[in-house]
């Protein structure tokens, strides 16, 4: 939804002479991650000494986001030695094991038995629990990382990598870790500002190390349409990503357990499409065109948008697709029916005598969502595309991406939650990085997110009631290109680095962080 619309590790650093290996291991039922998530690290210090009491009890590995639970133990911890390798007990984890071996500059031995000095990656035997949870055990000069799913095991490797970056050691003991929210990520407007495939891939790697799992790509707007199209090549802007580049990006994202959520916004923000199809532009009784708005009374308008939705739903294999639905200009006038009688007539014809232009607009959202549902994906839409009090209501299966309470039709977040809807947090007060800072927007800081924001803070600075927490599926930090030349790609990357670190901490564990902001900043430098 575009805004312009509107401590060190305790323990001696002992050199490990034995050979070290990375392995993927299968843990028995009940030994995997997820138990006792709420316990603090300081409350879990009664582990058996290993290998000797000459070592102090360990501290939790220092990572971003911080691990949720660490059981301390005595021992030197683990670090890679010259003969260290990574092994995968399960062939499904081969890619994760190979990546870790490459990052640590050590060997990969495949599906081999673990040796002293190994790091083992494994799928839990029961397969039960949050697939993004994991257990990381460091003892007897070996690390084992296990979890119910590949994603969790991958996140365990991120914890290992960050701990080595920060302190050159993975501390002794057991980490049990799991995210608080299932959707965690970055939203990127590549329509108004073109970003290279290489730049996007760098952001994916950064996100993966922070255990973020969703990249939203807003690639169509009034200014440009930025991905190659086979069904409608006439709408594509000169500067764009090819499908080959997109497939490369998608392949990298999948290897990093990140889902790309593509967005084609409609019935507003379609200026680039309308440039090639001016006959579909919404016009009032005086013939005045409305910027980016398609005439939803015309069957051809639905056909071209559905062609594009179907085409890109196949290109992007993730579980979601975003259909936009915000800021339709026909609803911003005092009397939509008088200004756009063709819309009012189409509404009555489709939904009955009492139907309005609002109902036709809401029906458009439901129809586009149905296309996405048919493609076996979950539709998402911006919150100001859901209206109250009409004949037609937005389908309950559409996830609400809440960004503002200021737009036409926008309501307080409690209204959507009270209706039982699932909501994702893109609060424009904390999570909107708008290039050029128009319309009173200022570049958000990581410090403010870290100290003041949680997933419950959906609008402004006040949280919604805790009883709604399970309906809030997560959050994304959004970059919008209103003034695309206000920052270079490099400046955007640097500007969003600490906000993404802060977001990652708060969506993994919304509780008040233990570190001060200054300590957190220092840790971000040390772990990356």
CATH code of the domain covering residue 446: 3.20.20.80
210 and 301 fall within a common domain: yes
SS3 225: strand
Give phi and psi for 280, each to the nearest 5: -95, 5
- Collect all residues with Cβ–Cβ distance below 8 Å to 434 and sequence separation of at least 6: 3, 4, 441, 443, 480, 482
Q: What is the pLDDT of residue 431?
A: 98
Please report the pLDDT score of residue 386 as a whole number.
96
Residue 262 CB contacts under 8 Å (≥ 6 apart), including other chains: 216, 217, 219, 312, 313, 315, 316, 321, 322
Query: Does residue 48 lie within any of the structural domains?
Result: no
Q: Return the CATH number at 130.
A: 3.30.379.10
Q: Which long-range contacts (CB under 8 A, 24 or more apart) does 43-52 make?
A: 44/69, 44/70, 44/71, 44/72, 45/71, 45/72, 47/71, 47/72, 47/73, 47/74, 47/173, 47/174, 48/73, 49/73, 49/74, 49/75, 50/74, 50/75, 50/139, 50/140, 50/172, 51/75, 51/140
- State residue 528's pLDDT score: 93
Say if 117 falls within a structural domain.
Answer: yes
Residue 25 has pLDDT above 60, yes or no: no
pTM, entire model: 0.90
pLDDT bin (cut points 50, 70, 90) of residue 407 is confident
Using the predicted structure, report yes or no on whether residue 352 has a pLDDT greater than 80. Answer: yes
pLDDT digits (tens, 9 = 90+) for 368-380: 999 999 999 999 9
Asked if the model's pLDDT at residue 22 lies above 60, the reply is no
- Copy the structure tokens of residue 349: 């014809």
156 and 193 fall within a common domain: no
Residues 6 or more apart from 330 whose CB is under 8 A from it? 282, 290, 293, 296, 336, 339, 340, 343, 357, 361
Q: Which of 177, 200, 224 is the last residue of a domain?
A: 177
* Claim to verify: residue 259 and residue 139 sit in the same structural domain: no
192 and 126, same structural domain? no
Domain assignment of residue 36, yes or no: no
Could you give the CA distance from residue 423 to residue 237 in angstroms, rounded to a whole number?
32
Q: Where a domain ends, among 133, 158, 177? A: 177
Is 55:13 a contact under the CB 8 Å cutoff?
A: no
Residue at 467 is within a domain: yes
Instruction: Tell me what pLDDT residue 367 has.
Output: 98
- Looking at the structure, tell me whether residues 423 and 507 fall in a common domain: yes
Same domain, 215 and 154: no
Please identify, among 177, 202, 224, the residue that sits at the C-terminal boundary of a domain: 177
Is 230 found in the same domain as 164?
no
| Total domains present in the chain | 2
Asked whether the beta carbons of 163 and 170 are under 8 A apart, the reply is yes
B/e letters for 24-37, b = 16+ CB within 10 Å, e = fewer, are bbbbeeeebbbeeb
Average pLDDT of the residues in 238-262: 98
Q: Domain span at residue 74?
A: 69-177
The catalytic site residues sit at 327
d(CA 282, CA 370): 23
Q: State residue 473 phi and psi, 5-degree precision.
A: -80, -15
Q: What is the pLDDT of residues 75-87, one digit of tens each?
A: 999 999 999 999 9
CA distance linking residue 170 with residue 164, whole number of Å: 6
Model pLDDT, residue 303: 98
134 and 239 fall within a common domain:
no
Phi-psi region of 204 (alpha: psi -120 to 50; beta: other; left: phi over 0): alpha
Please say whether the dihedral angle defined by the alpha carbons of residues 71, 74, 80 and 86, taken in this order, is positive or negative.
negative
Q: State whether 397 and 293 are in the same domain.
A: yes
Reported as a single tens digit per residue, the pLDDT across 120-153 is: 999 998 778 999 999 999 999 999 999 999 999 9
Same domain flag for 224 and 369: yes
55 assigned to some structural domain: no
- HEC string of 360-428? HHHHHHHHHHHHHHHCCCEEEEEHHHCCCCCCCCCCCCCEEEECCCCCCCCCCHHHHHHCCCCEEECCC
Residue 9 pLDDT greater than 60, yes or no: no
C-alpha 72: how far from its chain's center? 31
Asked if residue 449 is part of any domain, the answer here is: yes
Mean pLDDT of the chain: 91
**Domain for residue 172, yes or no?**
yes
Task: Determine, yes or no, domain membership for 267.
Answer: yes
Q: Are residues 505 and 407 in the same domain?
A: yes
Residues 234 and 143 in one domain: no
């Amino acid at each position: 939804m575009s805004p312009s619309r509107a401590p060190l590790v305790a323990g001696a650093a002992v050199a490990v002479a034995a050979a070290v290996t990375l392995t993927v291991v299968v843990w028995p039922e009940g030994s995997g991650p997820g138990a006792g998530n709420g316990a603090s690290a300081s409350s879990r210090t009664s582990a058996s000494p290993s290998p000797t009491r000459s070592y102090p009890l360990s501290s939790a590995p220092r990572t971003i986001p911080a691990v949720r639970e660490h059981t301390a133990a005595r021992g030197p911890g683990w670090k890679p030695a010259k003969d260290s390798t990574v092994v995968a007990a399960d062939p499904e984890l081969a890619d994760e094991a190979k990546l870790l071996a490459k990052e640590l500059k050590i060997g990969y031995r495949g599906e081999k038995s673990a040796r002293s000095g190994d790091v083992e990656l494994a799928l839990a035997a029961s397969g039960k629990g949050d697939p993004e949870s994991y257990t990381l055990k460091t003892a007897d000069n070996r690390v084992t990382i296990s979890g119910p799913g590949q994603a969790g095991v991958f996140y365990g490797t991120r914890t290992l990598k960050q701990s080595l970056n920060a302190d050159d050691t993975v501390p002794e003991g057991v980490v049990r870790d799991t995210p608080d929210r299932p959707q965690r990520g970055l939203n990127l407007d590549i329509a108004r500002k073109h970003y290279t495939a290489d730049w996007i891939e760098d952001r994916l790697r950064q996100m993966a190390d922070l255990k973020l799992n969703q990249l939203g790509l807003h690639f169509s707007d009034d200014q440009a349409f930025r991905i190659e199209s086979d069904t409608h090549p006439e709408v594509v802007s000169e500067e764009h990503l090819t499908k080959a580049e997109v497939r490369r990006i998608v392949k990298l994202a999948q290897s990093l357990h990140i889902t790309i959520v593509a967005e084609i916004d409609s019935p507003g923000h379609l200026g680039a499409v309308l440039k090639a199809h001016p006959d579909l532009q919404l016009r009032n009784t005086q013939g005045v065109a409305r910027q980016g708005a398609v005439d939803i009374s015309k069957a051809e308008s639905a056909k071209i948008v559905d062609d594009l939705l179907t085409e890109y739903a196949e290109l992007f294999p993730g579980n979601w697709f975003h259909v936009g639905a915000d800021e339709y200009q026909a609803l911003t006038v005092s009397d939509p029916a008088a200004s756009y009688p063709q819309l009012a007539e189409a509404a009555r014809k489709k939904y009955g005598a009492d139907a309005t232009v609002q109902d036709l607009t809401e029906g458009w959202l439901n129809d586009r969502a149905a296309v996405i549902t048919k493609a076996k994906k979950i539709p998402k839409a911006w919150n100001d595309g859901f209206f109250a009090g009409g004949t037609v209501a937005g389908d309950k299966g559409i996830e609400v991406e809440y960004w503002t309470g200021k737009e036409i039709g926008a309501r307080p977040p409690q209204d959507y939650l009270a209706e039982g809807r699932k909501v994702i947090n893109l609060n424009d007060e904390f999570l909107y990085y708008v290039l050029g800072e128009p319309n009173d927007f200022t570049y958000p800081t990581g410090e403010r997110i870290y100290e003041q924001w949680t997933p419950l803070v959906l609008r402004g600075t006040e949280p919604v009631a805790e009883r709604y927490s399970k309906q809030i599926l997560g959050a994304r930090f959004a970059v919008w290109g209103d003034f695309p030349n206000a920052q270079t790609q490099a400046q955007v990357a640097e500007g969003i680095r600490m906000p993404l670190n802060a977001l990652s901490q708060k969506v993994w564990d919304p509780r008040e962080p233990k570190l001060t902001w200054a300590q957190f900043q220092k840790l971000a430098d040390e772990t990356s």
